[in-house]
Structure 1
Amino acid sequence: MQRKWIWILAIGVLAAAGGIYWWREGPVTVTVVTPTRGPAVDAIYATGTVEPTVMMPIAPRQAGYLAELKVDEGDRVREGQVLARLDDQDLRNTVEELAARVEFARAQHQRLLELVRRNVVAKAELDRARSDLDAAEAVLARARALRDFMTLTSPADGLIIRRDGEIGQFIPVGQALFYLSCCAPLRVTAEVDEEDILRVRVGQKAVLRADALPDQVLDGEVSEVTPKGDPVARSYRVRIRLAEPEKLRIGMTVDANLVVSERENALLVPSTAIQNGAVWVVEDGRLHRQPVRTGVAGAVRTEIVEGLAPDARVVETPSENLREGRAARIRSSSSASVS
């Protein structure tokens, strides 16, 4: 009975050893792809926001209650167009009062001028009347200027992109009531990681995508690189000039790729195929590890500069149990047509 159990145990050990051997050295099933030719683009990725090139806040120079709104968000305006009025009743009354005083001072000056010509009064009286008239006119001019400050006008042709105020609301001095986008097309402001900023330059080509336009690729060009970075976010602000700014709206988010270099007809394989500077290829039914030199590396595919034949059958996603010379069964063969 004991010998029977020994034989059973021995057979089990041999079976297990055979299974391990088969797992390590037996044929392995792999999926292979053939390299493709296409453009290899080395680009810096960044996220950005569409914003106006020039955004002017429009605020009153005199505090008051908002009495009238002439425009709203989304309206296009012309230079000098009235946008809003603050309650200016007190100032209008003041202007009328001061205008009456000016008229009185002018009449007084004219009367004394005639009397001086007749030598009835001294010239000093005329000089005093002239001074009073000048002072009254100056005070009136200032009151009229304050009254005019209660009317907000557009400083340029543009688009009202924001309004902060309602009828009856008190608007303090300097608080922006409108924001005006004007004077230049829209642009994209993107944040670039500090590790990549030295590869960004003015005039560099940019390719952009927006969630609002999922089927379109937009062209742009780097117009500015800010000299000071954000020490907290560890990024630098880059501004991109748009080739077709009319397709986007203020506030949209975009994904930007700043093109560093671009090569046509490059040999490409899936990025998943490369492990530690080498790929696995299938030749004559067996696996071989092939060292390669890579060029532009992307998230989906990578350029092979040296070490790989154009017709090689490359293992798409190598596993840990691949061994040099091990037999391989090909599951399917397809092209490495990845984007």
Structure 2
Amino acid sequence: MIDWRIMTALLHRYRWHALIAAGLLITVVLTVAFFRINGEMVSPRRGAITEAVYALGTVKSDHVFKIKAAIPMAVKKVAVAEGDRVRQGQTLLVSDSGTAFKAPFDGTVTSLTVNPGELVVTGMQLLVLQDLTRLHVEYSLDQESALQVRPGQKVELSFESIRGQRSTGVVDRIYPNEGQFVVRVIVDDLPDEVLPDMTADTAIEVARKENVLLIPLAAIKNGGVRRKRDGRTQRIQVKLGVINGEWGELIEGDIVETDLLSVPERKPTEN
């Protein structure tokens, strides 16, 4: 038989444990619900910030020499082959009239499109000579990015096929070219295996600030943030200076390092 006196005592003993457990469960549920609605709370931080223009550049030779036919002619002699390294003054081609085309600098023949005895027409490109020891990187930027770039700015480069190695450079010049805005970057430590026409991922440092108050860009909505201070939440308008992909320099707005800023939960992207 069931001893109801014992059962009653057990229920009385564990009743408060059940109530406490239920209270904790409710607290957890409310906390999860709060963060699901409001996202997470993030503190501003003080530090340095760099703003960069990102672009895909192309390696170019500083010295490129192209031979093109000025008049119709026949090629009498081809003295080199593609890939040959030649010295300054070395003969490259000879026409049927006896005109010799010579290398103006030490370099490598990177293109040869004619054979001995071949007839060529005006304007036809016959040969390309490049100096593979003196290289730079060029970028074509849109107008908005070009307005931020100036000579002397620092540049960081990486090559997808050369992992774990980064090069540094400096903006040499920026100029317009047929509707494009071309940036020329000088790089002193390009890897030895890099050749013209290879591409480089690049970050051009256009602004940098030290010891500034930074706030997460994800917390900003319609020019303001939800700030929590001393247990009170208030919407504050802010103005930013230098920004990068995640943080922005605070230049206007009542925000201090001890505040908490609400970062809304991101909705999952639909495939």
Are 1:302 and 2:251 an aligned pair? no
Mapped to 2, the partners of 1:39 and 1:164 lie a distance apart of: 54
Aligned to 1:332: none
Q: Secondary structure of the residue that 2:197 maps to in structure 1?
A: coil
Specify which structure has the higher proportion of helix: 1
Mapped to 2, the partners of 1:202 and 1:192 lie a distance apart of: 14
The question of whether the paired residues in 2 share the 8 Å contact of 1:190 and 1:256 is answered with no
Partner of residue 42 from structure 1, selected from 51, 58, 81: 51
Partner of residue 256 from structure 1, selected from 202, 206, 226: 202
Aligned to 2:111: 162
CA deviations over 1:198-233 (Å, ceiling 9, x no partner)? 44332232333333345343322222222x4544xx
Aligned to 2:259: 312
The question of whether the paired residues in 2 share the 8 Å contact of 1:59 and 1:152 is answered with no
Aligned to 2:183: 238
Are 1:53 and 2:2 an aligned pair? no
TM-fit CA distance, 1:155: 2.0
**Code of the aligned partner of 2:80:** K
The question of whether the paired residues in 1 share the 8 Å contact of 2:89 and 2:103 is answered with yes
Specify which structure has the higher proportion of strand: 2
TM-fit CA distance, 1:297: 1.9
Stretches of structure 2 that go unaligned for 5 or more consecutive residues are 1-29
Mapped to 2, the partners of 1:81 and 1:188 lie a distance apart of: 28
The question of whether the paired residues in 2 share the 8 Å contact of 1:44 and 1:258 is answered with yes
Identity %: 28
Q: Which has the higher contact order (CA 8 A, sep 6+)?
A: 1
**Code of the aligned partner of 1:316:** V
Q: Secondary structure of the residue that 2:144 maps to in structure 1?
A: coil
CA deviations over 1:219-264 (Å, ceiling 9, x no partner)? 22222222x4544xxx422212222245532112233333232112
The question of whether the paired residues in 2 share the 8 Å contact of 1:204 and 1:222 is answered with yes
The question of whether the paired residues in 2 share the 8 Å contact of 1:40 and 1:303 is answered with yes
The question of whether the paired residues in 1 share the 8 Å contact of 2:86 and 2:106 is answered with yes
Aligned to 1:267: 213
Mapped to 1, the partners of 2:152 and 2:232 lie a distance apart of: 50
Q: Which has the larger radius of gyration?
A: 1
Q: TM-score, normalised by structure 2?
A: 0.68
TM-fit CA distance, 1:66: 6.4
Q: TM-score, normalised by structure 1?
A: 0.56
The question of whether the paired residues in 1 share the 8 Å contact of 2:75 and 2:114 is answered with no
Aligned to 1:5: none
Mapped to 1, the partners of 2:236 and 2:265 lie a distance apart of: 12
**Code of the aligned partner of 1:255:** D
Aligned residues: 231
Please list, as runs of the form range in 1=range in 2, the aligned pairs for 1:194-233 lying within 5 A after superposition. 194-226=143-175, 228=176, 230-231=178-179
CA deviations over 1:1-26 (Å, ceiling 9, x no partner)? xxxxxxxxxxxxxxxxxxxxxx9xx8
Please list, as runs of the form range in 1=range in 2, the aligned pairs for 1:1-339 lying within 5 A after superposition. 27-29=34-36, 30-59=39-68, 63-65=73-75, 68-73=78-83, 75-84=84-93, 146-147=97-98, 149=99, 151-166=100-115, 169-172=118-121, 175-182=124-131, 185-226=134-175, 228=176, 230-231=178-179, 235-247=180-192, 248-282=194-228, 287-306=233-252, 307-317=254-264
| RMSD between superposed Cα atoms in Å | 3.4
